[in-house]
């Protein structure tokens, strides 16, 4: 059933008024035991969340998208609301109300072991704390056929509001896990036969274009903070330190742009 809301003060809209920190704490977002809820903004992200089996709490739509999504929302136990544009603007605080916006329960987090069990291409993120960068990394990794993403506990959340918006919901198609110890993760990868490649702008690193891997070989690409790069411990744990050849007058690329180039080169 589609419920028409006639007031922006309707209590059924309350979850949409919550900030990200109220929906899920930083500790929950960065924990290996993630909990709480997330916001899906836009009809495309809502559709991909539903298709991935994420359980909605409440979804607010315009009339057309309420009719499109109501069956899926109700089948998952959620509430489908519709309202005119002014009410949607007031309730969500968005200057340009979206055709669909929903609050969803976070899915069960995967373990690192679940990511690696049948993966051959994995991205590792250390201290990538900008949600937009994480969203762009997710989008290019998923689009270029990589199998999973493992982030340390200081990296941003792929299910953050901004991360999901940038990835256009690709986070639902790329398996994701947290690592409490990146050094141990790299050791596990190498034991399981992965070639670990750490991306760095250091001039002493090997040019990425000169790396030749067996097409069937498993590989892991490690990305670090834009401010300080990868830690010395993480660099030491890689099989190869690799760089992207670029204009010497520019010190580095945005980590998401670098990830796209490296994911393509190593795909």
Domain-wise residue ranges, the chain: 2-105, 112-265
Instruction: Please report the pLDDT score of residue 67 as a whole number.
Output: 97
User: Other CB atoms closer than 10 Å to residue 90's CB: what's the count?
Assistant: 16
Mean pLDDT by runs of 10 across the 267 residues of the chain is: 94 85 64 72 96 96 97 96 93 86 92 96 97 97 97 94 95 95 97 97 93 94 91 96 92 93 95
Instruction: Please report the pLDDT score of residue 228 as a whole number.
Output: 84
Give dist(CA 124, CA 143) in Å, integer: 16
SS3 category, 135: helix
Instruction: Please report the pLDDT score of residue 30 as a whole number.
Output: 56
SS3 category, 209: helix
Q: Give 3-state DSSP helix, strand, coil % of the chain, rounded to 5.
A: 40, 20, 40
Give dist(CA 223, CA 214) in Å, integer: 22
Give dist(CA 97, CA 21) in Å, integer: 21
| Overall CATH class of domain 2-105 | alpha beta
pTM of the predicted protein model:
0.91
* CATH (residue range 112-265): 3.40.1280.10
Instruction: Please report the pLDDT score of residue 147 as a whole number.
Output: 97
The torsion angles phi and psi of 24, rounded to 5 degrees, stand at: -160, 135
């Amino acid at each position: 059933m589609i419920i028409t809301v006639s007031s922006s003060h309707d209590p059924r809209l309350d979850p949409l008024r919550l900030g990200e920190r109220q929906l899920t704490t930083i500790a929950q977002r960065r924990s290996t035991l993630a909990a709480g809820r997330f916001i899906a903004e836009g009809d495309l992200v809502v559709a991909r969340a539903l298709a991935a089996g994420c359980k909605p709490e409440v979804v607010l739509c315009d009339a057309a998208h309420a009719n499109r999504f109501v069956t899926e929302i109700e089948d998952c136990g959620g509430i489908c609301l519709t309202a005119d544009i002014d009410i949607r603007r007031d309730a969500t605080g968005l200057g340009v109300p979206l055709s669909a916006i929903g609050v969803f329960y976070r899915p069960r987090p995967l373990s690192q072991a679940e990511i690696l069990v049948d993966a051959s291409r994995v991205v590792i993120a250390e201290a990538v704390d900008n949600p937009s960068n994480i969203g762009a990394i997710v989008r290019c990794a998923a689009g270029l056929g990589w199998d999973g993403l493992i982030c340390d506990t200081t990296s941003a959340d792929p299910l953050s509001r901004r991360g999901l918006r940038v990835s256009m919901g690709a986070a639902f198609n790329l398996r994701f896990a947290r690592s409490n110890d990146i050094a141990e993760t790299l050791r596990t990868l190498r034991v399981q036969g992965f070639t670990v490649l750490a991306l760095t702008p250091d001039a002493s690193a090997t040019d990425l274009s000169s790396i030749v891997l067996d097409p069937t070989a498993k590989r892991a690409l490690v990305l670090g903070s834009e401010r300080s790069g990868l830690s010395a411990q993480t660099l030491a744990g890689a099989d190869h330190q690799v760089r992207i050849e670029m204009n010497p007058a520019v010190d580095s690329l945005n980590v998401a742009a670098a990830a796209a180039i490296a994911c393509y080169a190593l795909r």
